[in-house]
Amino acid sequence: MTSTGQYKPARMASELIGLLAPNQGLVTQIRSSFGKGFKQLAQDGDADVGIMSTEEGFSPLGASGKFFESDLAIPYDSNIRQLAQWNRFENTKVTLIAFKSRRPNGALKGIILAPGSNTKSYEPFAGSPYSRPHRDFYYNVSYEAIAYACFEWSAQKIAMSHLSSCGQFAKDMAICQIEAASHFCNEHPNQSPKSLTYCECCIRDEHFEGIASLETEVGANEHRPIRITTEQIGLANLLHLDWQ
């Protein structure tokens, strides 16, 4: 976003997708590192918080499981995987699961498992099989995940993978996520991260072509707070999102 709240596109083939420039504070870079995973970004100093789909197995979460266990000092199978499976297949609430690092010298400050279109909690928002991704669901999940990372962990470099099934990331999801990031940066410039990097698989340059449409929608909407309740389960902090 420019100082007027507009999105400034960058060359699509470049690692830099665009800039979010709030009215005050630092500029937030929107970047792509589609061939890199959370481990490489963290070890290269390009990520201090990871936000990923609650999908486990052959997914960004599953691929980085051993790294998360060692870097966060949190057992993967009995903590991260267990809650990821619960959040995907059993939990009917729209819930973010935040694991704060237990290692003072770890590369990551924490990770957030976010629900997406393949979770039980998305079913009331899904519509028909050909419906567009639900705007409020993806916007608020992204906004609250970014806000938590910045307020609770002082995140500076956030890495985010697709919040959907593998191969199901869509342009409309990216628009919702960047809109959420831009609203957060505009409202909280002093807490804004330096970068938000899309990483891992299933994300392509064309998914960000629609972000330019945000420029024509500036002022048409703004962030509307929703109710958030928290719950502690073991080593995780759960944030339940409620639109009621």
237: helix, coil or strand?
strand
Check residue 11 and give its pLDDT: 38
List, in order of start, the domains of the chain with CATH numbers. 8-242 (3.40.220.10)
CA distance 188 to 144: 13
More reliable by pLDDT, 172 or 49:
49
Whether pLDDT at 159 is above 70: yes
Across the range 231-240, mean pLDDT stands at: 97
Q: How far is CA 233 from CA 71, 171, 178, 230, in A?
A: 20, 34, 30, 10
83-96 pLDDT tens trace:
999 999 999 999 99
Whether pLDDT at 8 is above 50: no
Q: What is the DSSP annotation of 163-185?
A: SSSTT---HHHHHHHHHHHHHHH
CA distance 233 to 142: 22
Beta strands in the chain, from DSSP E residues, in sequence order? 8-9, 16-20, 28-33, 49-53, 94-100, 110-114, 157-160, 195-199, 227-233, 236-242
**Residue matched to tokens 């519509």:** 127
Whether pLDDT at 2 is above 50: no
Check residue 232 and give its pLDDT: 97
35-60 pLDDT tens trace:
788 999 999 999 999 999 888 876 78
109-150 pLDDT tens trace:
999 999 988 899 988 988 766 567 778 888 999 999 999 999
